């Protein structure tokens, strides 16, 4: 299973989402997290995610919008 999450300027919800993903009971998943614009991304949260959620793939880039972010996130996903 693959979960795609795009975010821009929402660090307040990022940790809440990360904790939910961490408690995922389905063992075989991949979490694609695309930060669409770095201006408010919290490095402490991103470091926590990489330390505690090994299934997470984090990409940070210049703001390009939600639709482009979802397209790009699909391209980042490992596919069987």
Q: Could you say which DSSP state residue 26 is in?
A: -
pTM of the shown model: 0.74
Q: What is the pLDDT of residue 50?
A: 92
Dihedral angle sign, alpha carbons of residues 53, 57, 63, 66: negative
pLDDT digit string (tens) for the chain, length 80 residues = 667 776 766 777 888 888 998 898 888 888 888 888 766 567 888 899 999 999 998 888 888 888 888 888 888 887 65
Alpha carbon of 63 to those of 29, 35, 36, 46, 78: distances in Å? 26, 8, 5, 17, 23
Tell me, what's the pLDDT at 38?
66
Tell me the C-alpha distance between 36 and 56, whole Å. Answer: 16
């Amino acid at each position: 299973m693959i979960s795609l999450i795009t975010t821009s300027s929402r660090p307040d919800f990022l940790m809440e989402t990360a904790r939910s993903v961490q408690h995922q009971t389905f063992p075989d998943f991949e979490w694609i997290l695309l930060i669409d614009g770095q201006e408010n991304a919290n490095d402490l949260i991103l470091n926590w995610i990489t330390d505690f959620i090994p299934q997470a793939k984090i990409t940070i880039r210049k703001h390009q919008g939600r639709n482009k972010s979802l397209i790009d996130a699909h391209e980042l996903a490992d596919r069987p």
